[in-house]
Amino acid sequence: MEELPRTGIGEKGRLIGTITVLLVAGFVGTSLFAFFASRDSIRLSIERNSLPTAAEYVYSSLQKELLEPIFVSSMMASDTFLHDWISRGEADVGAILKYLSEIQSRYGMFTAFFVSDGTKRYYEPKGILKLISREDARDEWYYRVRAMAEPYEINLDPDMAHGDAMTVFINYRVLDSSGAYLGAAGVGISVARMNAIVESLRLDRDTAAYFVDQDGNILIGAPYGVEPAPRVHDDPALHAVAKAAISAGGGSFRYRRNGSERLLLVKQLPEIGWFLFVERTEDTVLTSASRALWLNLAVFTLIVFIVILITAMTIDRYQSRLERTASYDQLTGALNRMSFGVLCEHAVKEATRSGSPLSIVMLDIDDFKRINDERGHHAGDKVLGLVVAGGQSGLRQSDPLCRWGGEEFIALLANCDIDGAINAAEKFRASAMALCGSEGCGQVTLSAGVATRRPDENFYSLVGRADEALLLAKRLGKDRTESAEP
């Protein structure tokens, strides 16, 4: 039997599309909202917790590193040995060299020094390094110390005694009992010790720290992952925010380098006149959040695929049930009149177009009321089902069969003339009656009326002529097939 065309495919597609859009919009929207909320929370945590904590760590480590050198320098400036040695006219050079050497070795300093204001000699553990002169730009620090009011300064300069190695000097003013200036004494610590602080921060906390002076010179360390310019003001990515930070005396800032955003905290260190820059890129921190987002989206894609697949299968199953319920007679399994009418209209149009013959066989169970009255409606229902099951075996696979009403049935025979239709009707009757007999339903007979479509005849006229032929078969004694006039 020819299967009815499926209906509702467009509706099913729209339903699945709507479900997909809602799932995608809801899940992607939720995932993105969670990602951006997580990103903002991470940024806030870095700005409020991570960077200030890192800055405090560097600052406390710096103070710890500088505390002893400042103490040693202070002790040298007030040491009676140094004062007595100066008052004796600096005659015994070996004594001061031994003194400086002992300071250097005892406290583990990179260097120790004394510059006499009287003789302008620069003493260091190995000897007299040079004579201080106002004309020498490298001696500018001494005259700055000589003129300042503070007892000491911390200065970063190359150390001539050690191949111009960058050294953090504690320059302490030496004054006699009356307050007269005698010179500058102090120690120097290697920049490597300071670099170790910022390097440990980078390794342990993935955070960059560097020291900048008032003029923007980078003294120790470097911005995150780049070779720094000598001055932050010369760094294309950093210069604007660095100027703002130094002018404001510190604060929290953001800037972009190589396409990624960096979070920056600037802290002023008034004790040494430097600024501490601590920065962190958010990319490393957001990697886990990005991975989680992509994992969520991947899992979501799989879930959506499974949901849509299950939905489509469920819709197909229920749609098939609904279509079968709407298209087939529930008792016999034959087509109902509505669905049969759709096929017949299509068949009439095709026969009109091609000119091929189209026939109708109308069948009726003889004395069906007697079967219901004598054996009950259950027996009658069984006969109806057996008639359809047996009769269809006498039809072609492509011939639709319809329960027209009560105990009446119609078969549509495409590409079949009147003789073929009569032959099909006889096969139907014989097969149906044989099955009813074999199933214990007693003697069941059928009458049939056959009609072949006339040119330009519509479906209802064709059915009417087949019905007249069926009535004729009934009048002529039943259990027979009659054909309508051509």
Best CA proximity match to 409, nearest among 435, 434, 386: 386
What does the block give as tokens for 319?
């749609």
* In 254-327, alpha helices (H): 282-327
Whole-number Cα distances in Å, 251 to 200, 214, 278, 279: 23, 15, 11, 12
**What whole-number distance in Å separates Cα of residue 176 and Cα of residue 48?**
48
- pLDDT for position 356: 92
Domains of the chain: 1-189+285-327 (3.30.450.20), 193-284 (3.30.450.20), 337-483 (3.30.70.270)
Q: Which amino acid is located at 277 in the chain?
A: F
Partners of residue 119 on adjacent β-strands: none
What does the block give as tokens for 72?
């040693």
* DSSP per-residue letters across 165-190: EEEEEEEEEEE-TT--EEEEEEEEEE
- Residue 228 DSSP symbol: P
Best CA proximity match to 379, nearest among 448, 444, 432: 444
**What whole-number distance in Å separates Cα of residue 251 and Cα of residue 278?**
11
CB atoms within 10 A of CB 136: 11
Task: Determine which helix (DSSP H) or strand (DSSP E) holds 254, and give its type and residue range.
Answer: strand 250-257
pTM attached to this predicted model: 0.49
**What whole-number distance in Å separates Cα of residue 408 and Cα of residue 410?**
7
Task: Determine which helix (DSSP H) or strand (DSSP E) holds 42, and give its type and residue range.
Answer: helix 9-45
In 103-249, which ranges are E strands?
Answer: 111-116, 121-124, 127-131, 152-159, 165-175, 181-190, 208-213, 218-221
pLDDT tens, per residue, the chain with 486 residues: 444 444 444 666 777 778 778 777 777 777 777 766 666 676 677 777 777 887 787 777 777 778 889 999 999 999 999 999 999 999 999 999 999 999 999 999 999 999 999 999 999 999 999 999 999 999 999 999 999 999 999 888 888 888 888 888 999 999 999 999 999 999 998 877 777 777 777 777 778 888 888 888 888 888 877 776 678 888 888 889 999 999 999 998 988 888 788 888 999 988 777 899 998 876 665 666 667 667 777 777 788 778 778 877 777 776 666 666 667 888 888 888 888 888 888 899 999 899 899 999 999 999 999 988 888 889 999 999 999 998 888 888 889 999 998 899 999 999 999 999 999 999 999 999 999 988 888 889 999 999 999 988 898 899 999 999 999 999 999 999 999 987
- pLDDT for position 2: 42
In 305-445, which ranges are E strands?
Answer: 358-365, 401-405, 408-414
